[in-house]
Amino acid sequence: MRSYPTLGRGPDLIMLPGWGMSAVVWRDWAEALAGEWCVHLFELPGHAGDPAEDFDVATLRAQLIESAPAGAVWVGWSLGGMLSLQLAHETAAAGMCLMATSPRFCTGDGWSAGVDPAALRAMQAGLEQGVERVWREFLGLLGSRGGTARAEVKALRYRQPTPAAGATGLQAGLRYLLTTDLRSMVARIETPTRWLVGELDPLISPAAVEGVASSMVAAKATCLLGAGHVPFYSHRAELDAALAELRRML
Q: Which of 12, 50, 78, 235 is catalytic?
A: 78
Q: Which of 22, 40, 50, 201 is catalytic?
A: 201
CA-CA distances (angstroms) from residue 250 to 95, 187, 191? Answer: 8, 21, 11
Q: Which of 22, 84, 102, 229 is catalytic?
A: 229
Q: How far apart are CA 160 and CA 20, in angstroms?
A: 9
Torsion of CA 184, 188, 192, 194, to 10 degrees: 20
Question: Is position 234 annotated as part of the catalytic site?
Answer: no
Measured in residues, the chain has a length of 250
**Sign of CA pseudo-dihedral 201, 202, 203, 206:** positive
Q: Name the β-bridge partners of 219.
A: 193
Q: Where are the alpha helices (DSSP H) in 143-235?
A: 149-159, 167-179, 183-186, 206-214
Q: How far apart are CA 14 and CA 214, in angstroms?
A: 24
Question: Is position 89 annotated as part of the catalytic site?
Answer: no
Contact assessment for residue 206 and residue 180, using Cβ atoms and an 8 Å cutoff: no
Residue 215: CB atoms within 10 Å? 12
Question: Is position 28 annotated as part of the catalytic site?
Answer: no
DSSP 3-state percent helix, strand, coil across the chain (nearest 5): 45, 15, 40
Q: How far apart are CA 159 and CA 230, in angstroms?
A: 13
Helix (H, G, I), strand (E, B) or coil at 212: helix
Q: How far apart are CA 247 and CA 63, in angstroms?
A: 25
Please list the active-site residues: 78, 201, 229
